[in-house]
Amino acid sequence: MRVLAARRLPGEAWEELGDVELGALDERRVDVEALIVAGDTVDESVLDLLPSLRLVASYGVGYDNVDVVACRARGVAVTNTPGVLDAATADLTFALILATRRRLVEGDTIVRTGRWATSWSESPFLGRGLAGSTLGVVGLGRIGSAVAQRARAFDMHVLSVRRTEGDLDELLGAADVVSLHVPLTQDTTGLLSRERLALLRDGATLVNTARGGVVDEPALVDELVSGRISAGLDVFVNEPHVPEALRALPNVVLTPHIGSATVETRAAMTRIVIENVLALARGEPLKTPV
């Protein structure tokens, strides 16, 4: 079975796959039956180039980069890598919460430039504590639940809505920190609209480790420019492009979509990808079909 991958994935499991062709898909291939992608777009134009394709194995839990409807119509299965990246993404979420609420990046910048905050009695360099504050989790799936667990260890009160069910507007107005954990779908695109962002209380922090498109990015920039709220963002609408206005703001912490980026997690993700491809080759049920 011919397998095509855009790049080699990390971890020992990769070697179990045997002969894999690495490279870009830029011509019609009638021999490719399995395609391994890591954020690469798979749409009608790609599917047209691969008439024998049977599987798209996506390296990640999110699969908004894959046209699942088009794949299904052509009898092409789609798999992802759920479960193994929950802890890593929850850890990064909480790192962004702490970094933003305690202004860690600003403090690091001050020290590196040879400056110092003013005296203890007059210091304007004040962050916000977590104990006793309220975390609002939007999307109480595996990752959202892991974030909620960590929040309780910091003596935070936790509110949640599951996907878009429940009173989201009420949660936004009650939380000191709002953390997003919903997939990017037709229903969740722009979920945090300009109107909903306005519901965040003054001094609140928005953390997004889900997908950039869940938030109205220009509206978020406006709220951050006003200084009314802060944010910790690992995802953006048009990655790898990050709006210059965001990069210039001191009240937002930015990371380059690294929610799953630990050695252990990425190796475990590779393991699932390989198990799905090998299952297809053996005619066995796929491990994690979408």
pLDDT band at 123 (very low <50, low <70, confident <90, very high): low
Written as one letter, the residue type at 232 is G
Set out the domains of the chain in order of their start, with CATH numbers: 2-84+262-282 (3.40.50.720), 86-254 (3.40.50.720)
pLDDT reported for residue 32:
97
pLDDT band at 97 (very low <50, low <70, confident <90, very high): very high
pLDDT reported for residue 122:
55
**Each residue of 1-39: pLDDT tens digit?**
999 999 999 999 999 998 899 988 889 999 999 999 999
Q: What φ, ψ does residue 47 adopt, rounded to 5°?
A: -65, -35
pLDDT band at 228 (very low <50, low <70, confident <90, very high): very high
pLDDT exceeds 90 at position 289: yes
pLDDT exceeds 80 at position 117: no
Q: What is the mean pLDDT of residues 186-214?
A: 97
| Rounded Cα–Cα distance for residues 170 and 185 (Å) | 22
* Distances, alpha carbon 240 to alpha carbons 39, 113, 116, 212, 225, in Å: 11, 28, 33, 11, 21
pLDDT exceeds 80 at position 237: yes
pTM for the whole thing? 0.92
Q: What φ, ψ does residue 185 adopt, rounded to 5°?
A: -130, 180
pLDDT reported for residue 118:
67
The residues carrying an active-site annotation are 211, 239, 257
Which carries the bigger pLDDT value, residue 128 or residue 119? 128
Say if CB 169 and CB 145 are below 8 A apart.
no
**Each residue of 98-109: pLDDT tens digit?**
999 999 999 999
